[in-house]
Amino acid sequence: MIQKKVKIVSNLQVVPEHFKMVLEAPEISQEAKPGQFLHIRIHEGLNPLLRRPFSIHRITSSQIEILYKIRGRGTEILSQHKSGELLDVIGPLGNGFPLPVTSNPKPVTSILAAGGVGVAPLAFLAEKLREIRNQKSKIKIIALLGAKTRDYILCEKEFKNFCEEIKVATEDGSWGFKGLVSDLLKKILTPNPKSETRIYAAGPILMLQEIKKIANMFKILAFGSLEENIACGLGGCWGCVVKTSQGYKRVCKEGPVFNLEEILWE
């Protein structure tokens, strides 16, 4: 865990209400794993008071990217920061996505299911999976990207570099499949697949709940990145818990990635 004031390299809108911020943070990027997050102090002021968590979207050896949607005052203020300014960042935090073992000779199909800005941690994961695949592991990577309309589709280009297959779902049918990512997922799964299949999901809670049901139906593993109100981000306050089959667990510490099977939603 590193706490540092880091420089904003760029902070640009990518689709309506969605921004991508690039930070110069070599110490953090070299430690980061897909699914982990940064805990960012939005500004020096006291309203909003608490830091905001952001999934790590992409990394290079010296830079780290976040992709975020404007949801409230915190992200609104974040979107107004200019390149060259400094941000107080803590990271990388939490446990990321479990990766397939590189020496595994059996073929594995990894399905990445992203709802809206949930695509953020999955881009980093896709790049990592491709790296593992290049080490002669038999991994097939399929990305399912969901958005409200065609105008809101994120990262389609990036995923083309990492995945064998990309499918897009839009709620209004303006691009790709008409419907939700979870509907699309159900459509592409087969009852007795030839290879082991794993789902990696991030997006709205209703989507994750649906994916948990689908994974259960098809008897496959599904890992999801969960969101909660996070206060300390370091496991100290026990504020960001989610109910699991083993009691309340912290999204910031044991998560944010969980095997969806163990999550008990009310």
Partner 1 sequence: MGIDLSVEIGKLKLKTPVLVASGTFGYEDDYADLLKSNRLGGLVTKTLTLKPRQGNPPPRTVETPWGMLNSIGLQNEGVDFFLEKKLPLLSQFKIPLIVSIAGERIEDYGLLAKKLDSVKEISALEINISCPNVETAEECLFAQDFYLTYGVVKAVRESTAKTIIAKLSPNVTDIVSIAQAAFDAGADGLGLVNTFLGMAIDIEKRKSKLGTLYGGLSGPAIKPLSLYLVYRVARAVKLPIIGMGGIISSADALEFFLAGATSIAVGTGNFINPQVTKEIVEGIEEYLKGHNLKSVRELVGALKVI
Binding site for partner 1 (CB under 8 A): 1, 3, 41, 46-51, 88, 90, 93, 228-229, 231-243, 247-248, 253, 266
Residues in the chain, how many?
266
Judged by beta carbon, residue 44 or residue 82, the one nearer partner 1 is 44
**Helical residues (DSSP H) of the chain, grouped into ranges:** 26-29, 73-79, 119-134, 156-162, 181-188, 205-218
CA distance readout (Å), 229 to 39, 226, 251: 12, 10, 9
Judged by beta carbon, residue 25 or residue 126, the one nearer partner 1 is 25
Judged by beta carbon, residue 49 or residue 86, the one nearer partner 1 is 49
**Shortest Cβ 230–partner 1 spacing (Å):** 8
**Shortest Cβ 182–partner 1 spacing (Å):** 23
Q: How far apart are CA 130 and CA 162, in angstroms?
A: 6
Q: What angle do CA 179, 242, 185 make, to 5 degrees?
A: 20
**Shortest Cβ 24–partner 1 spacing (Å):** 21
Q: How far apart are CA 93 and CA 33, in angstroms?
A: 9
Judged by beta carbon, residue 43 or residue 150, the one nearer partner 1 is 43
Q: How far apart are CA 30 and CA 14, in angstroms?
A: 25
**Shortest Cβ 255–partner 1 spacing (Å):** 12
